[in-house]
Structure 1
Amino acid sequence: MRLTSFTDYTLRSLIYLGMHRDKLVTIQDIADLHGISKNHLTKVIHQLGVSGMVETVRGRNGGLRLRMEPADISIGAVVRQSESDFHIAECFDHNNQGCALHKGCALKAKLGKAAEAFLRVLDEVTLEEMLPRPHSKMGEAILEQPIAFHPLPEAAA
């Protein structure tokens, strides 16, 4: 199973916002840190605003901040909101029944259970648990100065 780049950028944005609760953050800050497209990230932030997780402050000194406490943000809920579907195989698409085995195949049921288990695990995780601890090497590096992430290839969503 692979999450879309949209979901990846959503999670990265929430983690960054969770680490910088004391100030407003710009979309450009997040885009620069991760080396990702500001235009693509704008769509991500818009969805986070619509969901109520992120507050956008307009104006010259505007920016973004978490609207919810990190402990109240379920990673499972975030993934469900940002993924368009969980069709992990062709047989999950009701419009495409190209497999000759689809009527008697048990694989679909097992893959469905696996996807449910994946989401159940993520339901038990909050954004707060995903935040680097201030004294960890990653936490110190991000809080003190931006670190360079290699951009992910743009995945077809």
Structure 2
Amino acid sequence: MQLSRFTDYSLRVLFYVATNRERLATLGEIAGFYGISLEHLRKVVHALGKSGHLETFRGKKGGIRLAIAPSSINLGALIKQTEGEYPLIDCSIGPCCLVTSCSLQTVLAEAQRAFFSCLSGYTLDDLLDNPVMQQQLIATDEP
């Protein structure tokens, strides 16, 4: 199982704005910091704003910041939101001749529940409890 680029970028944006909370961050600044596409980030930030994780401000002095405390951002819930909770395989596609007797879908569903259960035990704040990572995330060339 691999998380999507959308989820990866969502986490990166949250890391960045949570570490630089004393000011608004800009999309260009975050894109430059991570070396990723501004257009991808625009979609990510829009979704995080709609979900209530970020506050966004337009205009010349606009930017983004966390809308809620990092300790309130549950990783399991965030990743379920960004990835969706779809079966790891879709046995109805094909259709597979083993669909009535195969137990693979059940085993994968159990593994997926365990995956989200593990992630649900952590918050953004837990991930940010790393001084080296925090130091790397502190903006050195603020706008």
TM-score by length of 2: 0.91
Equivalent residue number for residue 135 of structure 2: 140
Distance 1:85 1:11 in 2: 18
Equivalent residue number for residue 152 of structure 1: none
1:15-30, aligned counterparts within 5 Å?
A: 15-30=15-30
2:62 pairs with 1:62: yes
Distance 1:122 1:37 in 2: 27
Q: Root-mean-square deviation (CA), in Å?
A: 1.6
Could you say what secondary structure the match of 1:25 adopts?
coil
Amino acid paired to 2:8? D
Unaligned runs of 5+ in 2: none
> For residues 12-48 of structure 1, what are the alpha-carbon distances to aligned partners after superposition, in whole Å with 9 as ceiling and x for unaligned?
1111111111110001111111111100110000000
Could you say what secondary structure the match of 1:18 adopts?
helix
Q: Give the aligned length.
A: 141
Identity value in percent = 39
Distance 1:15 1:142 in 2: 8
Higher relative contact order (CA 8 A, sep 6+): 1
More off after superposition, 97-106 vs 68-77: 97-106
Contact kept? 1:52, 1:67, Cα under 8 Å: yes
Amino acid paired to 1:35? G
Contact kept? 2:76, 2:121, Cα under 8 Å: yes
2:123 pairs with 1:126: yes
TM-score by length of 1: 0.83
Distance 2:87 2:35 in 1: 29
Amino acid paired to 1:57? F
Specify whether residues 35 and 144 from structure 1 end up closer, same or farther in structure 2 by C-alpha distance, changes over 3 A only.
closer
